[in-house]
A and B are shown apart, each in its own frame.
Chain A
Amino acid sequence: MLDQPARVLTRVEPEYPAARLADEHHSEAPLPELDVEVEVTLDEAGRVTSARVLASGGKDFDEEALKAVRTFTFAPAIKDGKPVASRFHVPLHFEPPPHAEPQFVDVVGKRAPPSRGAGDYRIDVGKLDIVPRRNAADLLKLAPSVFLLKDGGGEGHAERVYLRGFDAREGQDIEFSVGGVPINEAGNFHGNGYADLNFIIPELVTRLRVLEGPFDPRQGNFAVAGSAEYELGLESRGLTAKATYGSFNTARLLLLWGPAEQSTRTFAGAEIFRSDGFGDNRESWRARAMGQYEGRLGSDASFRLSTSAYATQYESAGLLRVDDVESKKVDFFGTSDPNQGGSSARFHVSADIEAKSGETFYGVQAFGIYRSSSLRENFTGFLLDEQLARQQPHGQRGDLIDLSTTAGTFGLRGYGRHGFELLGMKHEVELGMFARGDMVSALQQRVGAQTHDPYLTEADLDSKLADLGLYADATIRFAPWLIVRGGLRADLFAFDVEDNCAVKDVSAPTPDDPPGDASCLSQQRFGEHREPNQHSTTATIKPLPRVSAQLGPFGGFSFSLAYGQGVRSVDPSYVTQSATTPFASIDSGEAGVSFARSFDVASLAVQSVFFVTHVDRDQIFSETEGRATLAEGTTRTGWSGSARSKGDFFDVSASVTLVQSRFDDTGLLVPYVPDVVVRHDGALFHDLFPLAGSPVTGKLGIGASFVGARALPYGQRSDTIFLLDAAASLGWRFLELEIAGTNLANLEYRQAEFNYVSDFDPNTPATLVPARHFAAGQPIGIFGSISGTLGGER
């Protein structure tokens, strides 16, 4: 029996693991409060001779606990009046530092929304910026299940995006934003929600949040497959100039500027670009600029002013019939209609402020967007020019679509988030709003192949669209290891559509006043007069519940469940006066597990997610209409796994997605969706050797993609795609030399494949049975760059 047990003389509270604090911004999982119990063995002098963990809190917490107890000083136990060796149990409590939870505006920078589970990916581009990427859309590949391709629309055309088994076409099923400014174009006739990311300079993207599902009440219209938020910034300070030249006579000049005394979110960038393209009719020109200033208002508020400008002109090869290529009618990199291409321009301004007042945080943002685009595409050749009785006799004049769209968008978003404590736990409630108005004019005509003149007007719409969304979002902590987040969002969609070409034919024309060949007619049966237009208005509210639960972390593992409903408004051409506005409604659920741990030499984050999504009214691309049109309900089920590891000299990311998409009524596969998507991004970086007193740094980046055979109509399967890209660079002081290669295996591949009817040769008997079409993928390309940074750090 001891006379006196050992006792603590001086005690140092353990440090909260730094890696946890650093990872908080990435994972958005709440930082846990927890206890670790350590048994220390003391010698007769009260010195710690050994220590072991009795009750673990996870490796990093255990390490901090052991480190702390070794700095304690003890009075030894006394037995029979003499100090003796003894064992002593030390409970240690870990609590996140006050600034870390909740995560609020600290100095500058916007507050990140809380995580919705394993499928809520926060992606730092970081060192993976060395991996060759053609544009900002390519960065989406850092999120699992994303696959991109060009469907022949040309360099300035939006990328076709696949996400979790969705053929999101040109972004219609993903809500895109950059710095809070929406990108999806409501009312775009080519595809409602068309999202052209080409205005974004990829070097200015520092981070992405890709939420693969409609699980966050902040997500609004078009968040069908999910949402992608681009966060802009510039790590390097000073003025950087980068010149690139390479294959296909591609030339690019990029200027980036980051004032040394400002945060990374104050920057400016400008780029000019041109290329002949990798085959016939692929020439393109582009200029774009982006800028942002971030400043502070007092000690508790920050604001940002941002702008962007973009213009492009491009040609496009379009789609080719496989049989035409096989019969040498057209080259693999050729075109069946050299009149295809387009132009595009986009400008936006935005201002936002975030501030703290007591335990409440506010944010508000206003933005304005001007957008115009012209698109000339011919999917079917000479097939659709139907002879109407009232028209002069004509043959097939050509199916070239000429679509021009002009849109002005203005909007607001804002939120207030209040943190409070209840039953010893911290909780939060957020109320937010989103408002957006769009004025869209769309004119789609068919242009004659010989005359290049429009001969038919298919659509002439002037639309005024409004989307007002309100949401309430709560974060409730039932225990340090159990958080439930969720709430309700409701969106009001209002349409005011002027169809300037509502009457396109007359069933019984009058001989006295024949309607002739005009497309938009001002008479009905037997010459009865009516104006050619039709005005329609309608509005509908769509409530959208969303909830997620997160358990953990337990030894680095966190588990999550999420459910949410999403919505996609229809394009204005489907609006009928006072009829209920048709929407696509989405039900989505996922169950995931994630693991995050920092080790001595590296950090590791792993996610595994099972998901299921149902869309009651899906959209399928119609080659005859040249745009996405409404189809039947579909359901997707699948799994995606991803991992990313970062160390002192490497950064590696990999993901695998397996998915099936089926029509509800027939059980048949949804066409064009890849069953398997695999992606790898890797970067190595290190100082190589000193030169004139400064290190020469080397970087190597490799990107690899595999896309499984996609289901095509009529039981067909597309080819698989494998792409290998790599880049290497040497940097010294303010200079950097880089060489990049894309499709290094130089595989001749078809990036987009379709089965449908076309007839590209009007002088031979028509081809009226569905046939395989494709857009050629880019062959190997080699590009060299030199860049210099002055007045700052590279």
Chain B
Amino acid sequence: MKRSLDNGMLLAVAVVAASCNASTGGELIEFDAFAAGPEAASGGEAYVFESPRGYTVTLRRAVLHVGAVYLNKSVQTSVGADTSCYLAGQYVAEVPGGFDVDVLEPTLQPFPVQGFATTDRAKTAEIWLSGGDIDAETDPTVVASVEGEATKDGETFPFDATITISESRVIPSTDPSQPGVNPICKQRIVTPIAVDLKPTDGGSLVVRIDPAGWFSNVEFDELELVDDDPPLYRFRDDSLDQPSRNLFNGLRANSGVYDVRWDE
């Protein structure tokens, strides 16, 4: 019996010792998150770039409201037929709160909330451009506010824009059998942004936003002139003309605008 008890104690110790080292796998971590403008920008100065449409754009103000950032394990190849606001795969990181990012400022600006992550590798990032409820029919949050001028062929177009994503962005369904095919949440999510990163304890998430990409397909000469003296062209807060539609599409471009990295 003594031997039996001794064996029992040994097994007990072994079980406890093994338990201390055993795990269900993975890890949950907290991290800091930052957003910033492109490294090429100079803080406090205008950001000048050439657009693919031949415009020299000078941005004097560019603020983007980033509502939240998410990382997902899955690689999504097509989102056209998907009506879900969330990706099918597992979300591995989130920064569930946002702020107005000065995208002309290259220095890192911290998110007001802590990020949370598992230590799984992420393949897709999402930027949520909303003030809160991604499904809300009305969201008065200004997601983008820009001011500057564009010059082409000696003609200058001073412009500004105040962009929200609300009723004016709803895409009506043309199929009566599919009234919910275009949920408003899809307009508020920039996805899929390709990434390949693995959150680690002690690291931080950095989102760099290059506003040049917002204007890639904008024809400034089609902007509506809203003031003559001094002249001011203004983007509409809907998608009814080419410049406004393409600025909105530029805000939601999943490549060329948002660079999501993990800093160790």
> Which residues of chain A have a CB within 8 Å of any CB of chain B?
386-396, 509-511, 513-515, 557, 593, 595, 608, 610, 637-639, 641, 656, 658-660, 662, 666, 668-671, 675-676, 708, 711-716, 755, 757, 762-772
Contacts and interface: CB of A to CB of B under 8 A. Distances in A.
A668 B24 contact: yes
B97 interface: yes
Contacts of A557: 1
B28 A395 contact: no
A659 B12 CA distance: 8
Interface stretch (B129-137, B148-156, B211-219, B239-247): B129-137
B133 A711 contact: no
B98 interface: yes
Given A639-B12, A712-B24, 12 more contacts: A389-B181, A390-B177, A390-B180, A391-B179, A391-B180, A393-B184, A509-B177, A510-B177, A593-B4, A638-B15, A658-B12, A766-B94
B262 interface: no
A660 B19 contact: yes
Contacts of B179: 389-393, 514
B16 A757 contact: no
A511 B117 CA distance: 43
Interface string B108-149: 000000001110000000001010111110000000000000
Given A394-B180, A658-B15, A764-B96, A769 B118 contact: yes
Given A762-B133, A763-B133, A711 B22 contact: yes
A393 B183 contact: yes
Which residue, A392, A515, A675, A715, has most C-beta atoms of chain B within 10 A? Answer: A715
B96 to A, nearest CB: 4
A350 B122 CA distance: 58
Contacts of B135: 387, 394-396, 762
B8 A610 contact: yes
A222 B178 CA distance: 45
Given A509-B177, A765-B67, A668 B25 contact: yes
Q: Is the interface of B mostly helix, strand, loop or mixed?
A: loop
B133 to A, nearest CB: 5
A509 B83 CA distance: 15
Contacts of B168: none
Contacts of A715: 23-28
Given A395-B133, A669-B24, A608 B184 contact: no
Residue of B12, B19, B91 with most chain A CB atoms under a 10 A cut-off: B19
Given A396-B135, A713-B24, A715-B27, A514 B177 contact: yes
24 contacts: A389-B81, A393-B184, A394-B135, A394-B180, A511-B176, A511-B177, A608-B4, A666-B25, A669-B19, A671-B24, A711-B23, A711-B24, A713-B24, A714-B27, A715-B28, A764-B132, A765-B94, A765-B98, A767-B116, A768-B86, A768-B91, A769-B28, A769-B92, A769-B118
Nearest to B7: A610
Given A387-B84, A393-B183, A658-B12, A765 B177 contact: no
Contacts of A767: 94, 96, 116
A346 B96 CA distance: 45
B96 A766 contact: yes
A765 B19 contact: no
Contacts of A670: 24
B93, B128, B133 pick with most chain A CB within 10 angstroms:
B133
A768 B94 contact: yes
A387 B16 contact: no
Interface string B171-200: 000011111110111000000000000000
Nearest to A514: B177
B23 A713 contact: no
Nearest to A557: B1
Contacts of A658: 11-12, 15-16, 19
A595 B1 CA distance: 10
Contacts of A757: 91
B85 interface: yes
Contacts of A716: 24, 28
A608 B18 CA distance: 20
Given A768-B70, A769-B93, A388 B180 contact: yes
Interface residues on B, range: 35 or more
A639 B128 contact: no
B68 interface: yes
A683 B180 CA distance: 65
Contacts of A675: 15-16, 19
Contacts of B117: 769
B24 A769 contact: no
A766 B93 contact: no
A550 to B, nearest CB: 15
B83 A389 contact: yes
A765 B25 contact: no
A670 B18 CA distance: 14
B250 to A, nearest CB: 22
Contacts of A386: 83-84, 86
Given A388-B180, A511-B177, A769 B116 contact: yes
Given A610-B8, A763-B133, A769 B175 contact: no
A32 B93 CA distance: 66
Contacts of A608: 4-5, 8
Contacts of B177: 390, 509-511, 513-515
The 6 closest A-B pairs by CB, nearest first: A395-B135, A765-B68, A514-B177, A768-B91, A509-B177, A675-B19
Contacts of A771: 28, 116
Contacts of B68: 765-766
A83 to B, nearest CB: 46
A514 B97 CA distance: 38
A513 to B, nearest CB: 8
Contacts of B19: 658, 660, 669, 675-676, 708
Given A395-B133, A765-B132, A637 B15 contact: yes
Contacts of B5: 608
Contacts of A762: 133, 135
A714 B22 contact: no
Given A610-B11, A769-B117, A714 B28 contact: yes
A530 B183 CA distance: 29
Nearest to A670: B24
A711 B25 CA distance: 10
